[in-house]
């Protein structure tokens, strides 16, 4: 039986794009279907969030030939400092003591997206359908087919394998009949960036507070990426608070280790939930990334876990 493609990847976000990039030198014919243009302001996968890239993920991106384009826009994490509000003591880790150049790196999702898209657009074996949405899925013993809506016109394309990598709210997962268990943390992550009075010295800070973990991650021009976890029913209060009021709250929760804060960037919010798909593999189909498992950002492992999944799948294929 002939197929239009060997693999159809639904979702051109970080994990779906990483899988496509990992297969760029293979003999496989790949289709990537993404609903929102990577260049659009509303693209959730490639916004201005600061992603924490682990050392192993950096090595994976390097092996894929992507790190050379990401590196100029990254900031190394040389130290990690963990503390608990209202308690003495802290835990500190240093790259030098572990004999590594860095413990990890901070990269804006937008810059990661640019590197992925450059690679996908240059790959002869990858077709990128965007903006396009999958409206139906059909699985048979010999093929996996999807109905794709492009500019209001439906088109059916077939493949040997369908990969659902369209995020925690995956419609493809639902169309495959795969259920997912969800735990709502009743928390919201407020993400922004700030300028501390004192240099961050490439230190990633995590502080546990009464409302949830607060992270300050080192970025360029001495700015810090801020991830501030608050109760869901109080999120709007913090989002609507004037800049100085918000910075005062940040100082009260974090303490004065970095001095005062200024130059607050745009604030965005992300509801926090844990999700686990009940199945990750079905005949002719695989669930990948946040479509398979979404975790609390406290450990900064969402993208790192998804990237490892993508590379593991690419090795099998």
- Digit-coded pLDDT (tens) for 123-160: 999 999 999 999 999 999 999 999 999 988 999 999 99
User: Quick check: 175 and 135 in contact, CB under 8 A?
Assistant: no
The domains located in the chain, with CATH, are 7-75+106-181+273-316 (3.50.50.60), 185-271 (3.30.9.10)
Is the predicted pLDDT of residue 40 greater than 60, yes or no? no
Cα dist from 27 to 24, 51, 267, whole Å? 8, 31, 44
Largest CA distance in the chain: 67
Q: What is the tens place of the pLDDT at every residue in 221-235?
A: 999 999 999 999 999
Q: What is the CA radius of gyration of the chain?
A: 21
Residue 274 to residue 296: CA distance in whole angstroms: 6
pLDDT at 42: 54
Stated pTM of the model: 0.90
Q: What is the tens place of the pLDDT at every residue in 79-104?
A: 999 998 877 878 999 999 999 999 99
Place of tokens 């030098």: 96
Kindly give, in sequence order, each residue whose CB lies less than 8 Å from that of residue 237, ignoring residues fewer than 6 positions away.
Answer: none
Confidence of residue 44 (pLDDT cuts 50, 70, 90): low
């Amino acid at each position: 039986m002939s197929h239009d493609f060997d693999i159809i990847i639904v979702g051109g976000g970080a994990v779906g794009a990483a899988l496509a990039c990992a297969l760029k030198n293979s003999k496989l014919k790949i289709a990537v279907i993404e609903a929102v243009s990577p260049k659009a302001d509303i693209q959730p996968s490639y916004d201005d969030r600061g992603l924490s890239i682990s050392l192993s993920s950096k090595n994976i991106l390097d092996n894929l030939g992507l790190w050379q384009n990401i590196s100029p826009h990254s900031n190394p994490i040389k130290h990690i400092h963990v503390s608990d509000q209202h308690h003495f003591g802290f835990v500190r880790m240093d790259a030098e003591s572990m004999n590594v150049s860095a413990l990890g790196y901070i990269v804006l999702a937008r810059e990661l997206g640019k590197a992925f898209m450059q690679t996908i657009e240059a790959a002869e074996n990858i077709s990128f359908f965007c903006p396009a949405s999958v409206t139906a899925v059909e699985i048979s013993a010999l093929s996996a087919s999807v109905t794709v809506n492009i500019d209001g016109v439906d088109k059916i394309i077939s493949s040997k394998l369908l990969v659902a990598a369209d995020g925690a709210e995956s419609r493809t997962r639902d169309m495959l009949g795969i259920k997912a268990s969800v735990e709502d943390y009743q928390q919201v992550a407020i993400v922004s960036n700030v300028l501390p009075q004192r240099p961050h010295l490439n230190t990633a800070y995590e502080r546990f507070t009464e409302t949830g973990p607060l992270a300050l991650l080192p970025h360029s021009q001495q700015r810090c990426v801020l991830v501030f976890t608050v109760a869901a029913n109080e999120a709007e209060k913090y989002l609507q608070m004037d800049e100085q009021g918000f910075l005062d709250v940040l100082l009260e929760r974090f303490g004065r280790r970095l001095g005062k804060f200024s130059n607050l960037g745009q604030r965005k919010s992300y509801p926090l939930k844990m999700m686990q798909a009940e199945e990750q593999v079905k005949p002719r189909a695989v669930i990948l990334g946040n479509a398979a498992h979404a975790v609390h950002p406290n450990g900064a492992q969402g993208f790192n876990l998804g990237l490892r999944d993508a590379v593991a799948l690419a090795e099998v294929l």
